[in-house]
Amino acid sequence: MALFSKENKKYFLTPLNDDNPVLVQVLGICSALAVTSQLKPAIVMGVAVTAIIACSNVIISLLRNTVPNRIRIIVQLVVVAALVTIVSQILKAFVYDVSVELSVYVGLIITNCILMGRLEAFAMMNKPIPSLIDGIANGLGYAIVLIVVGAFREFFGKGSLLGFQIIPEGAYDGGYINNGMMTMPAMALILVGCVIWIHRAYLTKK
C-alpha cells in the first residue's frame, strides 16, 4: 500500500530521531521549557500540537495549488488560528485545570515555529497523505521531548507522576527530600540541553 511505502516510512521516522524538531532543529524550545514542570500538561501540549500540525498540514496541502503565493502565509495563519481556537475550547471543556495551567501557551501554538515550518517547507509542496504523516511525526517528535522532560522534572521535583505519588512516604521519613530546583524554569533549560547533548552524542557515535 502507498500509505506504507518506503518514502512515507522515512517521512514518519526521520522527525522522531534524525531530524527531531526540538533535538536537532532546536525549534519549539519556548513551549518545551514553559509547560514541562509536570507530566500532565506536557502530555496535553504534545497531543495538542501534534493534532494541530497534522490537521493544518492536510488542509494546507489540499489548498496549496489554489492559494496565491503572495498570501500563503496569511492563509496558513488563518488555518492554524482556527485549529488552535478549536483545540483551546476542547481543552477548556474537558481538561479545564490543565487548560488553566497551560495558560497562554495554547494560544501561542499559532506562532510555534515547528508548525509554521512544516506548513511552509512540506505541506505547501506535498500531497495530503505525506503531509499528514509529516505532521504527526513532527508533533510526536516534539511531544516525546516534552514528556521526557516533564516526567523527569515532576518525579524528582515532586516525587510524583501525573499527580500520583511515586516515591513512598517511607523515603521521606528516612530523609529523602524532593529537589525543588526541578520545578524552577531554569532547570527546564538545563534538562532540554542535556537531552539534546545526549541525543547528539548518540547520533555522532552511530
Query: Which pLDDT score, from 0 to 100, does residue 116 have?
Result: 86
The β-bridge relationship of strands 164-165 and 160-161 is: antiparallel
Answer yes or no: are the C-beta atoms of 154 and 37 closer than 8 Å: yes
Cell reading at 158:
515532586
Q: Where are the beta strands (DSSP E) in the chain?
A: 160-161, 164-165
Q: Is the pTM of this model over 0.85?
A: yes
Q: How confident is the model at residue 110 (pLDDT cuts 50, 70, 90)?
A: confident
- Give the whole-number percent of the chain exceeding pLDDT 90: 35
Integer-rounded Cα radius of gyration of the chain: 19
Give the contacts of 6 (CB within 8 A, at least 6 positions apart): none
pLDDT at 19 over 70: yes
Mean pLDDT of the chain: 87
Residue 13 reports pLDDT greater than 80: yes
